[in-house]
Amino acid sequence: MPTEIILASASPRRTELLSQLGVQFRVLPADVDETIDDTLSPAEMVRELARRKAEVIAAQYPDSLVLGSDTLVAYQQHVLGKPDDAAHALQMLQLLNGQCHQVHTGIALICRSQGVMVVKSESTDVFFRQVDDGLLQRYVATGEPMDKAGAYAIQGYGAVLVDRVCGCYNNVVGLPTALLCRELEALGIPLLPEYGSRG
């Protein structure tokens, strides 16, 4: 079993979600080139970027299990990144208004010394309510969309835009916890701390 788990991400949302699994870890954000082949599907893109992030940190800490992750929002297979400005954010939200789009998150688990290399992804359908431009403009004015892929945060004010989610909710937040739990358990990593003694 690896000596420690390292989360190769600066995302506070991923830190919070990983903490909820009850595993001990530390955070070491990976600085990687995120230029990606745009002929790849969104799911392929997030797997590749997650792998790159994990590999950078795994090269420095070969005995650790490194978790890399990347999330993309796609509408009709077209990737929506972070908005350039408020006008761009509003344009994205108008595109998604009343429609279904997909959120893809890739995870990579790498431990060099033990030959572990797991790269997978999860996709979730998110259905937006049909709302008027006034609400979209008020949402943009909160500033929340500005550093978010797809120009919204489902766990924040962006919840007012969402009608329903089909699939893993946490995947939309930034980490597919059910998928990650299965992979950690397969590697022998126990979930949740042990409390008390066994009788």
Q: Which alpha helices (DSSP H) does 61-188 contain, by range?
A: 86-96, 133-141, 169-173, 177-186
Q: For the chain, give me the number of helices (H) and strands (E)?
A: 6, 7
Q: Is 70 a residue of the active site?
A: yes
Structure tokens at 20: 């909820």
Q: Rg of the chain's alpha carbons, rounded to an integer?
A: 18
* Under 8 Å between Cβ of 144 and 151: no
Mark residue 54 as left, alpha or beta (left: phi above 0; alpha: psi -120 to 50; beta: remaining).
alpha
Structure tokens at 39: 């002929």
Neighbours of 95 (CB within 10 A): 16
Residue 118 Cα distances to 75, 79, 141, 188, angstroms: 27, 24, 40, 14
Separation between Cα atoms, residue 146 and residue 85, nearest integer Å: 7
Among candidate residues 31, 38, 70, 147, the one labeled active-site is 70
What are the catalytic residues? Answer: 70
